[in-house]
Structure 1
């Protein structure tokens, strides 16, 4: 099959898909909808797909073989936009029920507290691992189905909110974080003195590991801990303990940094007082005991050097506070044992999550009853 035959087939296929997507958006576009702005955003995305479709149709009509690669580029753009609309946003809108609305309400309150004023609407989809599709004004948040009935996945939402912050200020944040990388390895070269060519390649490889995606993931771990406190650190330790591979392993095929670096960077982001909390010490000791089963490898020692990670945190926190001058790091003290199970109207969602982490780790026999009360307090629904 020649490329032009394939492109003609895709034109026929997408003429149907684009028409059906438009019909589905029209069915959802009702005056009483909570998502008028989001639907407008989807219409804009659909328009972009239609524009690419028109360009693809013209390229195929001309039939110039040298232009067919551009036709593939337009096809990729159509595929991307239609996937986002049809596989993610539309199903989320069609299936938005009480659990999704409850989590949406919580997310909107977090966004309001953090002064992420550019986010004007959002939608929640409860059918996958924690993730987000960062739209500057109308992001989509994906959470696992058990989020309907459990609070324990929720600290990870702050990491996902971090992706939306990062995408808003991507250019400046990447410049700042890459400067940290360059300065670290430049200083390392100066300390080493004469560097043989083979060793210089090692340094370049180590610096090159910190590409845009890994820097973003690490930044979001910092953002999650800065905005949610100890509960986010505990959730990262939990993720690390469930991780089946060596937590020091450097995987150049994975956009996520190794778990050992992620847990450490969350711990460093905590304030000194938070690091001294009993809850933090319990989680930290569990993690240290887990690490005894593994030996740090040379790659991890070089690529994830603690001086470098410390500088990442210092720079990231500085940038967060620069761009969110009205926001505040979550550093509220955890109450003592007699008060921790009580609820009042002044509790933030961060308060609830940090209490949940402390009760679960330090008073597990009391957790089941407490979480049921917390879900009722939050207006959570189990559908």
Structure 2
């Protein structure tokens, strides 16, 4: 019965994949040639795998069918990924994406980005993200109309530098080596913390807490911190303000400490500490003081305070070590950093936007609209 089902379903899935290929064969803007090529390659590999299953000689269903079912599921998952990410991105290309693609290319040129710039898709329902395997920068639909969050592009650009898709790129070795060193620092901190808890005869739950935090640092937070350092160093103070902006709109507890759950990002306050430490590293002391005061005022007005566990989860020495290691890794990449008095063109533009915002918040929207109108006429066509 199962093999009869597989015979029909494999055939039908191949036809679905063939139909999907027509999306990638259509003419699209040249910005999306790389995506089309990647999707076409992934689709060809999937069809080839399905045809192998289709043509396989069945000798012993008891032995072959379970494995064939697993392989079929894997090919279906890959096909769904190609359709929901690649094909949907191409099918939903909007005029606004042309402008944002120009922005991303400009930023990558400014900072001497070592990889091919990602292309924009408006698939995001919340905030910025990236799919390094498809080289897709995921941006909310209207975000290209405004300056204040564009600094988050710098953060997303850092994720591919650590992605498995680029494991064999020698140009990335300094950054990846730095990440490995920082990973060792995280492991050492975790082991030291657990050992100290044991020597203090702490209850098992305390030791387990350090173990959980260590796993979160290793699995999620270290990469996010490296991306925050990258953005701070290449964008400048505008990235810190963008984090402030995001924490107000989407944050819920800046001193959050996970006890029994998985959190993909560090607490907002820990991220701000990382960002300000990175900015201080390249000379933005004055700006850090201003941003630090604004952040403290926000915390006071929201009535948020750090609990003792917060400093155990996000200790100063670990954050300092991560920032220092990431800085040296980014510097070794040969990136153009946003140093005081010598900002790159886009970091200067975003910095100017935030300065204009704080100078006259009530009239900022008018200023922003006019600046976007002027900019759209010089770097891309919109709407």
**Shorter-normalised TM-score: what interval?**
0.7 to 0.9
Once the 2 structures are TM-superposed, how far is the Cα of residue 225 of structure 1 from its aligned partner?
Answer: 1.2
Once the 2 structures are TM-superposed, how far is the Cα of residue 313 of structure 1 from its aligned partner?
Answer: 0.9
- Residues 372, 347 of structure 1: alpha-carbon distance in 2 compared, 3 angstrom cutoff: farther
| 1:358 alignment partner, one of 355, 360, 366 | 355
- After the TM superposition, which residues 160-175 of structure 1 pair with which residues of structure 2 at under 5 Å, given as runs? 160-167=156-163, 168=166, 169=172, 172=177, 174-175=179-180
Matched residues in 2 for 1:60 and 1:240: separation? 58
2:26 alignment partner, SS class:
helix
Matched residues in 1 for 2:235 and 2:262: separation? 29
| 1:288 alignment partner, one of 269, 293, 296 | 296
- Residues 62, 234 of structure 1: alpha-carbon distance in 2 compared, 3 angstrom cutoff: farther
Matched residues in 2 for 1:75 and 1:98: separation? 38
1:276-313: CA deviation from partner (whole Å, max 9, x where unpaired): 12xx4444223213333123234422121121111111
1:307-365: CA deviation from partner (whole Å, max 9, x where unpaired): 1111111111111122x22x22112439xxxxxxxxxxx97111111111121123213
CA contact (8 A) 2:194 2:211 kept: no
Matched residues in 2 for 1:231 and 1:27: separation? 39
Matched residues in 2 for 1:347 and 1:205: separation? 40
Match of 2:135 in 1: 139
Structure 2 alignment gaps of length 5 or more: 167-171
Match of 1:255 in 2: 264
Once the 2 structures are TM-superposed, how far is the Cα of residue 209 of structure 1 from its aligned partner?
Answer: 2.5
Match of 1:28 in 2: 27
Match of 2:215 in 1: 208
- After the TM superposition, which residues 10-21 of structure 1 pair with which residues of structure 2 at under 5 Å, given as runs? 10-21=9-20
- After the TM superposition, which residues 34-183 of structure 1 pair with which residues of structure 2 at under 5 Å, given as runs? 34-57=31-54, 61=58, 64-119=61-116, 122-128=118-124, 129-135=127-133, 139-167=135-163, 168=166, 169=172, 172=177, 174-183=179-188
1:320 alignment partner, SS class:
helix
CA contact (8 A) 2:14 2:47 kept: no
Q: Which moved more, 1:157-166 or 1:210-219?
A: 210-219
Matched residues in 1 for 2:2 and 2:285: separation? 59
Matched residues in 2 for 1:230 and 1:84: separation? 37
2:142 alignment partner, SS class:
helix
Q: Which moved more, 1:95-104 or 1:313-322?
A: 95-104
1:21 alignment partner, SS class:
helix
- Are 1:301 and 2:307 matched, yes or no? no
Matched residues in 1 for 2:63 and 2:299: separation? 56
Once the 2 structures are TM-superposed, how far is the Cα of residue 40 of structure 1 from its aligned partner?
Answer: 2.2
1:132 alignment partner, SS class:
strand
- Are 1:317 and 2:317 matched, yes or no? no
User: Number of residues paired by the alignment?
Assistant: 362
CA contact (8 A) 2:255 2:269 kept: yes
Greater RCO, 1 or 2 (C-alpha within 8 Å, sep 6+): 2
Match of 1:338 in 2: none
Once the 2 structures are TM-superposed, how far is the Cα of residue 104 of structure 1 from its aligned partner?
Answer: 0.6
- Residues 217, 66 of structure 1: alpha-carbon distance in 2 compared, 3 angstrom cutoff: farther
TM-score, with structure 2 as normaliser: 0.82
Q: Which moved more, 1:140-149 or 1:359-368?
A: 359-368
Once the 2 structures are TM-superposed, how far is the Cα of residue 226 of structure 1 from its aligned partner?
Answer: 1.4
2:121 alignment partner, SS class:
strand
TM-score, with structure 1 as normaliser: 0.82
Match of 1:221 in 2: 228
| 1:370 alignment partner, one of 363, 367, 372 | 367
- Residues 68, 111 of structure 1: alpha-carbon distance in 2 compared, 3 angstrom cutoff: farther
Matched residues in 2 for 1:300 and 1:76: separation? 43
Matched residues in 1 for 2:176 and 2:286: separation? 35
CA contact (8 A) 1:60 1:71 kept: no
Matched residues in 2 for 1:71 and 1:112: separation? 47
* Cα RMSD, aligned residues only: 3.1
